[in-house]
Structure 1
Amino acid sequence: MTDIESISLFTEELVRVKTGKSLSDIEREVLRESLSGKTYSQIASELDYSRDYISQNVAPKLWKLLSIILKEKISKNNCRSVLERKIIIYQGSRKETTKTALINLNTIKDSEKLDINDCKLLDGRVPMGSPYYIERAEELICYLEINKPGGFLRIKGPRQMGKTSLLMRIIAYATKQQYKTVRLSLQRVDSTVSKDINKFLRWFCANATRKLQLESKLNEYWDEDIGSIESCTFYFQDYLLSIIDSPIVLAIDEVDYIFQFPEIANDLLSMLNSWYGEAKEVKLWQKLRIVLVKSTEAYIRMNINKSPFNMGIAIDLSPFTLEQTQELAQRYQIELLPAEQKKLMRLVGGHPYLINTTFYQIKCNHTSLESLIETATTDTGIYSDHLHRHLQNLQQYPELKKAFEQVLRAVTPVELEQALAFKLKSMGLVVQLEGNLVIPSCDLYRRYFYDVLIDM
């Protein structure tokens, strides 16, 4: 029987030779774990993804790809037996090695290679291993911070700026350092739980325990007489941090979701702030590394003078530079003339999601950049969903709408009240210059919102 490492190596090379592309990191891990006989639940737990994402998204696409390549139905149940048989075929005899099979793979004629179109519109996070992920200078800072005892990261930016994609890579890096990782999304908290601090913190501890694959001992540590915040703190200190030898990276995504429950948010963030303070003096707390991820669009509902975010290292994600946009174009195998590059940057201002959407349409739907620019501000244009979300926010907050209208009417930078300038910038709608002087972030916003808000 061929070992799992050899089967994996053979399969990865088979995919590369047949398609000219490589398996993504997560596809590679799902393949290896499936070959070892693990269930989707076990795989999801080890990779820190939901079971549904593995079983309904990653795995089906992987088995479909291998079925097309091998011209035989592949599933989780039969992948090992089929791939072992294919290795024997490419070896030519049982006496030859897997290395020989890999060499023979490279003799496949170009006419036998598959033309598999893997174009995917990246409407959210960029998967691990995707060629369309552009590394940011901030990543090194993130890796250095979670290596520090008691490290604390705050990743922020408007929606679709790449926060969750960066978080995924921080977690992957932590895993390679053999750290334990706990990733919690506050968007998954039930409304009944998020309105009660005691229920919320019990949810918080229960999910952290489950992610760490430990036995829940909530009832042993929860004490109504000292309160839920102290109970949660002692649970982490006396149980989770004490029983695990390695550092623990606690990543909390969608933090802004809890802002709609101000009292809960203040209690949670005050508790985390106290943990950050403990790490400066107590060695045990230095094992905990915290990463908070939030959308700055949530600031439109907040009093900025009472912002609770003042802990650790702040990572404020910014739009792509021209060089990063050029790099992404190359990965899409798109050639843009210098004049076209300038047009694109002027249109979307380097917004990662809008740049990816543009390149997807050009590459996979064979659309010209010129035609995309012409229809950019229409309700049938490729950016319509993105624009409608911003419009809905502006309509809900008349003071922001009025301030943005003032910016749109002007031909020179406009000075706004500090809070308004801050909130419009947090939404990604304006670029803030010196002081409180602002201009629209890009031509797309200027054209669309001028037509919708002013010309109506």
Structure 2
Amino acid sequence: MTRASIYTVGGTVQAGSGIYIPRQADEELLKLCREGAFAYILTARQMGKSSLMVRTAEQLAKEGIRSVIVDLQNSGGQITPEQWYLNFAMRLKRQLRFKADVLAWWRERRHLSVSQRLTLFFEEVLLAEVEERVVVFVDEIDSTLSLDFTDDFFTAIRYLYVARAQNLVLKRLSFVLIGVATPSDLIRDPWRTPFNVGQRVDLTDFSFEEALPLAAGLGLAETEAKRVLDWVLKWTNGHPYLTQRLCRVVAEAGPPGPQCWGENGGRVWLIAQFQVEREAWYPLAARSGGR
């Protein structure tokens, strides 16, 4: 693996590939999932939400807790409510690999609304087929904001949470919602109860201590690598994507010359290196305030 290849600049950090930087959110989310709590991670893009989701699901699997990851961005835009909800149920079946004929079950209950069928599906099919606890990660939930029928989806999730008090089986089921929307965006009908269940998990920017593993890929002596990493973090404010991207640029550029170690030399050198990838320059400048 080359030095630059240890940095992930887009997509998720898969197990065994690239450097994954654990943060406080890792411990918080894993703890909530172990407890069967409902949780949500709603923050800006490129903050590492999907990588956190994948890593948490991998850890839960080691502990005997089943996980399902449903990316709503792949559900399509031109779609009917019937297709959207059935597609959601079918994706759960494929990942959990249970035997029930979901299509037949779904069609037999056409007299019910799609959201009613979905809640019954969890109760009568999924939890009947899967004996272990199940965590459903729902990624890219903001993609639902362009659809006019998904208020019922989040209302159904809220129902599954509230109904735990009467139906103990539902305590084996929990959800983690992931995206850039806010909880108030999820149910837009002002006459409905807002989406007010679940615990928020905050994803923070990298601190210097958290980001230290990234210094190993810069190809510099330890002291110099830490200094360059400090330069990078001052530019990116610790933003995960921008930090890894600038580290990759630095690693590919090679070590800075002696003239760069002065007070302003590092700043000038970073600017020169980052011009190599101009398409990423503008978000970096906006994020860092143009320092």
TM-score, structure 1 normalization:
0.54
Distance 1:258 1:385, change over 3 A: farther
Q: Give the partner amino acid of 1:264.
A: F
1:241-390 matches, within 5 Å, as: 241-261=127-147, 263-296=148-181, 309-330=195-216, 332-334=218-220, 335=222, 336=224, 340-366=228-254, 368=256, 370=267, 373-375=270-272, 380-382=275-277, 384-385=279-280, 387=282
| Structure 2: runs of 5+ lacking an equivalent | 257-265
2:33 matches 1:146: yes
In the alignment, the residues of structure 2 paired with residue 282 and residue 386 of structure 1 have an alpha-carbon distance, to the nearest angstrom, of 53
In the alignment, the residues of structure 2 paired with residue 320 and residue 188 of structure 1 have an alpha-carbon distance, to the nearest angstrom, of 30
In the alignment, the residues of structure 2 paired with residue 329 and residue 205 of structure 1 have an alpha-carbon distance, to the nearest angstrom, of 44
Work out whether residues 19 and 213 of structure 2, in 8 Å CA contact, stay in contact via their aligned partners in 1.
no
Q: CA deviation at 1:365?
A: 3.3
Distance 1:139 1:364, change over 3 A: same
Q: 2:55 aligns to what?
A: 169
CA RMSD, 1 decimal: 3.3
Distance 1:153 1:376, change over 3 A: farther
Q: Give the partner amino acid of 2:113.
A: G
In the alignment, the residues of structure 1 paired with residue 183 and residue 126 of structure 2 have an alpha-carbon distance, to the nearest angstrom, of 31
Could you say which structure has the greater relative contact order, defined with CA pairs below 8 angstroms and 6 or more residues apart? 2
In the alignment, the residues of structure 1 paired with residue 38 and residue 183 of structure 2 have an alpha-carbon distance, to the nearest angstrom, of 21
Q: 1:434 aligns to what?
A: none
Work out whether residues 32 and 38 of structure 2, in 8 Å CA contact, stay in contact via their aligned partners in 1.
yes
Q: Give the partner amino acid of 1:374.
A: I
Work out whether residues 155 and 316 of structure 1, in 8 Å CA contact, stay in contact via their aligned partners in 2.
yes
After superposition, give the CA deviation of every residue in 1:52-87 in whole Å (9 maximum; x if it has no partner).
Answer: xxxxxxxxxxxxxxxxxxxxxxxxxxxxxxxxxxxx
After superposition, give the CA deviation of every residue in 1:301-335 in whole Å (9 maximum; x if it has no partner).
Answer: x98x9995532111121111122223321354544
In the alignment, the residues of structure 1 paired with residue 199 and residue 219 of structure 2 have an alpha-carbon distance, to the nearest angstrom, of 36
After superposition, give the CA deviation of every residue in 1:266-288 in whole Å (9 maximum; x if it has no partner).
Answer: 22111111111122432111111
In the alignment, the residues of structure 1 paired with residue 272 and residue 195 of structure 2 have an alpha-carbon distance, to the nearest angstrom, of 40
Work out whether residues 197 and 264 of structure 1, in 8 Å CA contact, stay in contact via their aligned partners in 2.
yes
Work out whether residues 348 and 443 of structure 1, in 8 Å CA contact, stay in contact via their aligned partners in 2.
no
In the alignment, the residues of structure 2 paired with residue 185 and residue 284 of structure 1 have an alpha-carbon distance, to the nearest angstrom, of 25
Distance 1:375 1:297, change over 3 A: farther
SS in 1 for 2:15: coil
Distance 1:386 1:157, change over 3 A: farther
2:95 matches 1:220: no
In the alignment, the residues of structure 2 paired with residue 298 and residue 145 of structure 1 have an alpha-carbon distance, to the nearest angstrom, of 18
Q: 2:46 aligns to what?
A: 160
SS in 2 for 1:192: coil
Q: How many residues align?
A: 274
- Say which of 232, 235, 248 aligns to 2:118: 232
Q: 2:23 aligns to what?
A: 136
Q: Give the partner amino acid of 1:144.
A: K
SS in 2 for 1:139: helix
In the alignment, the residues of structure 2 paired with residue 312 and residue 147 of structure 1 have an alpha-carbon distance, to the nearest angstrom, of 14
Work out whether residues 86 and 106 of structure 2, in 8 Å CA contact, stay in contact via their aligned partners in 1.
no
| Structure 1: runs of 5+ lacking an equivalent | 1-115, 392-428, 430-440, 448-456
In the alignment, the residues of structure 1 paired with residue 228 and residue 193 of structure 2 have an alpha-carbon distance, to the nearest angstrom, of 41
Q: Percent of aligned positions with the same letter in both sequences?
A: 20
Work out whether residues 346 and 443 of structure 1, in 8 Å CA contact, stay in contact via their aligned partners in 2.
no
Distance 1:140 1:250, change over 3 A: same
TM-score, structure 2 normalization:
0.81
Q: Give the partner amino acid of 1:274.
A: Y
In the alignment, the residues of structure 2 paired with residue 324 and residue 307 of structure 1 have an alpha-carbon distance, to the nearest angstrom, of 39
In the alignment, the residues of structure 2 paired with residue 281 and residue 386 of structure 1 have an alpha-carbon distance, to the nearest angstrom, of 54
In the alignment, the residues of structure 1 paired with residue 289 and residue 273 of structure 2 have an alpha-carbon distance, to the nearest angstrom, of 10
After superposition, give the CA deviation of every residue in 1:394-442 in whole Å (9 maximum; x if it has no partner).
Answer: xxxxxxxxxxxxxxxxxxxxxxxxxxxxxxxxxxx7xxxxxxxxxxx52
Q: 2:262 aligns to what?
A: none
In the alignment, the residues of structure 2 paired with residue 277 and residue 383 of structure 1 have an alpha-carbon distance, to the nearest angstrom, of 50
After superposition, give the CA deviation of every residue in 1:239-281 in whole Å (9 maximum; x if it has no partner).
Answer: 11112110111111111111122x3332211111111112243
Q: 2:90 aligns to what?
A: 206
Q: 2:260 aligns to what?
A: none
In the alignment, the residues of structure 2 paired with residue 160 and residue 372 of structure 1 have an alpha-carbon distance, to the nearest angstrom, of 25
